[in-house]
Amino acid sequence: MNASAAGAAILAAALAIAVPDPSLAVDENVPSNSCKITSGGIGSGGNTVTCNFGLTPEQLKELTEAAVKGATEPLTHQIVEVSKTLGVTEDAAAKLLKIVGQDPNIPEGKLGEALSRVASDYQRLQAQLGALNPENPTARVLADKAKPEIDAGRFDRAHELLRQATQAQIAAAQEARKLREQAQAAEDAQMLGAAQSTAAEGDVAMTERRYREAAKLFGQAAEYVPGGHAHEKGGYLLRQANALYRQGDERGDNDALRGSIEVLGRALAEYPRSEAPLDWAETQADLGNVLWRLGERERGAARLDEAVAAFRAALEEETREHLEAALAAYRAALEKNTRERVPLEWAVTQNNLGNVLWKLGERESGTARLEEAVASYRASLEERTRARVPLQWAATQVNLGNALEMLGERESGTARLEEAVATYRASLEETTRDRVPLQWAATQNDIGYALAKLGQRQSGTVSLEEAVAACREALDELKRERVPAWWASAQDSLGDALEALGERERGTAQLEEAVAAYRAALEERTRDRVPLRWAKSFGNQGVAMMAIADRTNNAAMAETAVQQIETAYETERSGGREHGAAEFQAHLTKAQAIRDRLKGK
């Protein structure tokens, strides 16, 4: 309790009159006009002074009634005697008599005892108020003004002054809290800036392929992040884990992989599943990748089992409901973090919004979500310019290319696919092979995939041949032992291009190469690990096999192809990928007809 509030409480206690304890009766042996001290227990406030005023109960009653009416002038002599006995001013004595007289619960025979008790409370009030010395200058002045008012028995005025003192200190406390919060916000901003600078140094070390140094810097950045910024801290921990993974993956450093697993565990703590399900799921997927790589190098299957569990956990959260929730969260963030207020942060949110819309669009058969994703990416690029943040600009260009490519697959014509290829190629102006070889290779793979889809709609084979060349270039950098998932993706894209090219040419050479490319992709894209990607490669391999079977009259191969396409269709359908399921359903109808023809049905 602060000092002025204590003063108000003191005064309130003086005005709260309880019915006296009968055990505290006036001692008949006490002489006239004298007082004695009685020890008080709980609720009595300490010692109680009981006085004999030399007045009969009837006279004391008359005196209290006169005080209540404000007609004490005829009884001035008695008031003076009471004030002397109590050791208070005459005005205070009149006030105390009035307090006692206004309490209907005090019997006539107990008026003297009650007056003594009120006087005792009053003197205690004076003593405690005398010790009151607020730190707030305004409150101190008001408390000092209240003291003479209490001495004079003007309690109403004392109440007012003490309340003003309380409000002055509350206002000062609120201002101090505001300043403290502003200071904390300023400190947090500086520490977040320090984290960003440290992480940027980590990016330099990553570019130099000094992965352990980069991991240390990303870890320091995470430590700099103040409380209340779990997303930022988790992001730096993920970058630390990635640096350690690169060290372990590219240089055979198993201790680095174990370190990556430990850091990912801490990142998961920053992304509680109940609060950030998609971030949690992505971190689980990263954990699965590291466990998988380490499990390949260790004896036994424990790490691999853990990897499977991590991937399955991630898939549990990548549901439509969670994606919709993420969509709402990003849109709410855009209302708060406006373009005018924080342009780059706004651009990041627009990019993330586009990612969620793209993921939802991937699972739906329509194009509305994908159109929204394209709009979000274009909005992001208005602030994420090449001149301001070149690598982030390039990353968003790739995201835009992905959305345009998927739109192109679902629409007639070639405009979207051509725009996707141009967008991918624009990003390579910054993500050059010398600067970021793996990212360059991944984009080459994207170009190859888009060109393959484009070539399927054109009469010639130029785009398909370019697609094959782009995928082979990507595979020059994307080595399986280094980046197995990316390597598998490039093998899958190569299979798509070769399959489409083989459909246009006589013979089966290109088709057989396509089957081999899909087979390679499936070595990494296992059903347990990535069921939807597995289904795509497995089903497309079946499509290529069906084309070979048709040209070679191989009924057994045709039966196998039908089974693969049917399994892929069921997996895509149960996984919520409507468009992919529809494509395989169309392939299945054709494949069944070819099989039946080859079997002579």
The answer on 150 and 49 residing in a single domain is yes
pLDDT score, position 7:
47
Angle between helices 155-207 and 3-15 (to 10 degrees): 150
Domain boundary among 125, 143, 171: 171
In a domain, 114, yes or no: yes
Average predicted confidence (pLDDT) for the chain: 82
pLDDT of 414 strictly over 80: yes
CA-to-CA distance for 393 and 421, rounded, in angstroms? 16
Residue 356 belongs to some domain of the structure: no
Which phi and psi angles does 532 have, rounded to 5°?
Answer: -75, -40
Non-local CB neighbours of 411 within 8 Å, separated by 6+ positions: 367
Residue for token digits 């296992």?
526
Cα dihedral 503/509/510/512 (nearest 10): 100
Question: Is 455 a member of any domain?
Answer: no
Residue 53 is classified by DSSP as -
Would residue 448 count as lying in a domain?
A: no
DSSP state of 73: G
Amino acid, single-letter form, for residue 242: N
In a domain, 565, yes or no: yes
Q: Are residues 286 and 152 in the same domain?
A: no
Residue 58 belongs to some domain of the structure: yes
**Domain co-membership, 216 together with 102:** no
Q: Report yes or no: 374 and 407 within 8 Å, Cβ to Cβ.
A: yes
CA dist., res. 465 & res. 27, Å (int): 118
pLDDT at 482: 77
Q: How many CB atoms lie within 10 A of CB 190?
A: 12
Three-state secondary structure readout of 423-468: HHHHHCCCCCCCCCHHHHHHHHHHHHHHHHHHHCCCCCCHHHHHHH
Q: How confident is the model at residue 22 (pLDDT cuts 50, 70, 90)?
A: very low
* Of 50-54, 202-206, 241-245, the least confident: 50-54
The last residue of a domain, from among 317, 335, 351: 317
CATH number at residue 251: 1.25.40
Residues paired with residue 38 on neighbouring β-strands, in sequence order: 48
For residues 220 and 308, membership in a common domain is answered with yes
Q: Are residues 219 and 300 in the same domain?
A: yes
- Structure tokens of 5? 């509030």
| Chain segment 304-352, per-residue pLDDT in tens | 667 657 766 765 665 666 667 667 777 877 777 788 877 887 888 888 8
- What are the tokens at 68? 């209540």
Query: Do the domain assignments include residue 411?
Result: no
Alpha-carbon span 186 to 192, nearest angstrom: 10
C-alpha–C-alpha distance, residues 15 and 19, integer Å: 13
Last residue of a domain, one of 317, 346, 369: 317
For 562, the domain range is 525-601
Give strand pairing partners of 51. 35
pLDDT beyond 70 at 498 = yes
Structure tokens at 188: 């947090």
Output the pLDDT for position 24. Answer: 29
For the ranges 8-22, 38-52, 248-262, 279-293, the lowest mean pLDDT is seen at 8-22
DSSP 483-494: -HHHHHHHHHHH
CA dihedral 464, 469, 470, 474 (to 10 degrees): 140
Pick from 41-45, 375-379, 458-462, 550-554: least confident: 41-45
Q: Do 19 and 152 lie in a common domain? A: yes
Q: What is the per-residue pLDDT for 10?
A: 40
| Token pair of 75 as six digits | 């009884």
What one-letter code names the amino acid at 53? Answer: F
**Same structural domain, 109 and 245:** no
Q: How many domains does the chain have?
A: 3
- Residues 127 and 242 reside in one and the same domain: no
Same domain for 131 and 269, yes or no, is: no
134 and 18 in a common domain: yes
The verdict on 125 and 23 lying in the same domain is: yes
78 lies in the same domain as 128: yes
Q: Is residue 59 part of a domain?
A: yes
